[in-house]
Chain A
Amino acid sequence: IAGITQAPTSQILAAGRRMTLRCTQDMRHNAMYWYRQDLGLGLRLIHYSNTAGTTGKGEVPDGYSVSRANTDDFPLTLASAVPSQTSVYFCASSESGGAEDTQYFGPGTRLTVL
């Protein structure tokens, strides 16, 4: 693999179900991010991690949790999905999390909660 991979590509989920979106990068980047993208809105940061073992909350963290057990993986979990979490989810990574760092994005997961 090269870059960032996300799984699944798309998912339809019943409300109330638990779901984990997977994200793996092979660039040995320290920082990783989860965004959601909704029509008419900019990308919004859900959670981030500046290095393995640490995580932080972004703009819209409620209803989501993350973990960063190692450098490569950064899963996003919806504990009990609700229809307002219907969105396209992008995982991204950058070398160090600094302001000048380019963020590289995965292909996205399209999630529909019914």
Chain B
Amino acid sequence: GQNIDQPTEMTATEGAIVQINCTYQTSGFNGLFWYQQHAGEAPTFLSYNVLDGLEEKGRFSSFLSRSKGYSYLLLKELQMKDSASYLCAVWDSNYQLIWGAGTKLIIKP
């Protein structure tokens, strides 16, 4: 079966760094997305990885290891507005996005 695992909830302090992990087992791999979703709102795109390595975009970075079926999202200089759920999604061999249940990130002052 297809499976994407993320921690359910994480807590971090404003100004700190947090790493949200995602492991996946899917039928094929055609890329991995990270989305941010604030409570009651729609998901919005953060990053896309298809090759191994680190992609940096401002305060957010995303890493991929295809051989390990593993990705992480790194958030630096945390701000209160970063409190949200972070969704990991993988394109499988059927060209459909398989989504993890998301990680709720709570930022404390």
Which A positions have Cβ atoms within 8 angstroms of B? 40-45, 48, 58-59, 90, 97-100, 102-108
Contacts and interface: CB of A to CB of B under 8 A. Distances in A.
Contacts, number: 48
A106 B99 contact: no
A105 B35 CA distance: 11
Contacts of B60: none
A59 B44 CA distance: 22
B48 A100 contact: yes
A105 B102 CA distance: 16
Interface of B: 4, 30-31, 33, 41-45, 48, 50, 87, 89, 91, 95-102
Contact of A103 (B30, B45, B95): B45
A58 B87 CA distance: 19
A108 B95 contact: no
